[in-house]
Structure 1
Amino acid sequence: MKQSMILLHGLFGGLSNWEGVIQHFGSRYDIHIPSLPIYDQHNQDNLEYLVRFLEQYIEQHKLEKPVLIGNSLGGHVAILFTHRHPDKVSRLVLTGSSGLHENNIMGNYPKRGNYEYIRERVAYTFYDPAIATDALVDEVLQITRNRIKCLRIVQTAKSAQRNYVASILPEIPTPTLLIWGEEDRVSPPDVAHEFQQLLPDVQLVMLSACGHAPMMERPEQFNRILEEFLGK
């Protein structure tokens, strides 16, 4: 039976963010990429709602000790889940994770429908602005054109900023890998080093000329580092 791997996207992320990981590991792992229900209407704290969603997802799919890999907001969700259920996670991988400090790339309220603004903000995510393809910009643009989705994004970002994980990180025994871009302007390198100081069983790898989404911007390096970590 293949080991399960769960890939958790960020606030503006999507399933396509993980194409490189899927191509590299898909034949050997049972890969799951749940779409986080960021836009659902509910009465809970937004981040709490996402953690509960992950709990239900793992239970419904009967996944035993998956590898959890989270980018940005997805990393934050993975941290909270692993802290609550350390016995249900085999390895934890964080890349550009929120939870300690992050810069909100869209500001307090996104400029809805402003193409150039959205393009500039998406490009800000990467070291190489060429990674912000027309398709990627259009994907984010469509989200920001929806008033309800915009509101949910702002609410979720604020929920993540309120949920400071420094106090719980020392309580996570799970082997953890941090893959971080040296040019990450959303969750800067200092954040990665703080994660490294607070987690008990942790390895940090910094990637040069790389921004907030290493699995997209440096897929070959990302997969090689992840491969080594999972093989230990």
Structure 2
Amino acid sequence: MEDTVNKEGKYKYLEIGEGTPIIVLHGLMGGLSNFEGVASFFPDKGYKVIIPELPIYTQNILKTNVKAFAKYVKDFITYKKLDRVILLGNSLGGHIGLYHAKMYPEKMAGLIITGSSGLYESAMGDSYPRRGDYEYIRRKAEDVFYDPKIATKEIIDEVYEMANDRIKLIKTLTIAKSAIRHNMAKDLPKMHVPTCIIWGKNDKVTPPEVAKEFHDKLPNSSLYWIDNCGHAAMMEHPDEFNTIMYEWLQKAKLKT
């Protein structure tokens, strides 16, 4: 997918299809390729899939936080001259989507979160990397998935590279602290954007009780489970993930 990335000013993004816009927000360790299943499925169903590369490691340290990333998404939506969009976010991307829904509900038609931070952040604070310890990082990467084989050498190498890059490591820890600071528990009951929660039943990073709490606190939410699935459902079970999301979008009438 990388060869079709658009570069315009400060924005880098992938755009596929025509129709109702779905903007995809990747996680802290994630990238555009994590959503290949979504990008190949939804354009055939009348949706335009847009995956911006979030400036997780490129923004000024003072703008390396959940609130600033949510504003970046709002500015990107304005730049693309879009009206109301559907946001889909995994892990930190889900947290950014939630914060965007809090700050800019007028820009939102719907929200899908999977393995989202925003309520439970212990994994963000304590699982980050011991520099130079490849085996530790390999185990942590495998823990993200129910099937450890999905943590390919390429994925492990990316995390290892980040852990050994001093600036990236500082920014990762800054984001982890920001995620704790921007806990959404008190905000969720006041947020009425239609929300689809898709969760892996075997998620070790954000356990199933986190999904239940999101569902309990968000007044306009639906909760769906995927069996034998860890923290990145859209990677581990792309077909089931897409089916759940598509059926929810139809039910919620989120299509122009």
Interval of TM-score (by shorter of Structure 1 and Structure 2): over 0.9
Q: Does residue 26 of structure 1 match 2:43?
A: yes
Gaps spanning 5+ residues in structure 1: where?
none
Tell me which residue corresponds to 1:119: 138
| TM superposition score normalised by structure 2 | 0.86
Distance 1:138 1:221 in 2: 28
What SS is found at the alignment partner of 2:198?
strand
1:169 corresponds to 2:199: no
TM normalised by structure 1 equals 0.95
Partner of 1:206: 225
Instruction: Pick closer, same or farther for the CA change 1:163–1:106 going to 2, 3 Å.
Output: closer
Structure 2 unaligned regions, length at least 5: 1-17, 252-256
- 1:58-207 residue pairs with structure 2 within 5 A? 58-104=77-123, 107=126, 109-207=128-226
CA contact (8 A) 1:103 1:185 kept: no
Q: Distance in 2 between matches of 1:104 and 1:210?
A: 17
Whichever residue aligns with residue 32 of structure 2, its letter is: L
2:19–2:48 CA contact under 8 A, matched in 1:
yes
Higher strand share: 2
Give 3-state SS (helix, strand or coil) of 1:33's partner.
strand
Out of 55, 59, 75, the residue aligned to residue 37 of structure 1 is 55
Distance in 2, matches of 1:109 and 1:173, equals 33
Question: Secondary structure of the equivalent of 1:104?
Answer: helix
Question: 113-122 or 67-76, which moves further after superposition?
Answer: 113-122
**Does the residue aligned with 2:219 lie in a helix, a strand or coil?**
coil
d(CA) in 1 for partners of 2:219 and 2:98?
13
1:70, distance to aligned residue in structure 2 (A): 0.5
Instruction: Map Cα deviations across residues 18-73 of structure 1 (whole Å, 9 max, x no partner).
Output: 01111111333221111111112242461222112111111111122111001011
Counterpart-to-counterpart distance in 2, 1:176 and 1:48 = 19
Q: State which of 2, 5, 22 in structure 2 corresponds to 1:5.
A: 22
Taking the aligned partners of 1:167 and 1:106, their CA distance within structure 2 comes to 21
Alignment CA distance shift 1:114-1:31 (3 Å): same
Aligned to 1:51: 70
1:175-218 Cα distance to aligned partner (Å, 9 max, x none): 11000011111111101000111111111001111100100011
- Give distance in 2, aligned partners of 1:190 and 1:225: 20
1:3-22 deviation digits (Å, cap 9, x = unpaired)? 11111111111111101111
Computed over aligned residues only, the root mean square deviation of the Cα atoms, in angstroms, reads: 1.5
Looking at structure 2, the residues matched to 104 and 153 of structure 1 have their Cα atoms a distance apart, in angstroms, of: 12
Q: Is the 8 A contact 1:73 1:97 kept in 2?
A: yes
Higher relative contact order (CA 8 A, sep 6+): 1
CA contact (8 A) 2:125 2:176 kept: no
Deviations 1:60-110 (A, max 9, x none): 111221110010110111011111222211111010111111332672752
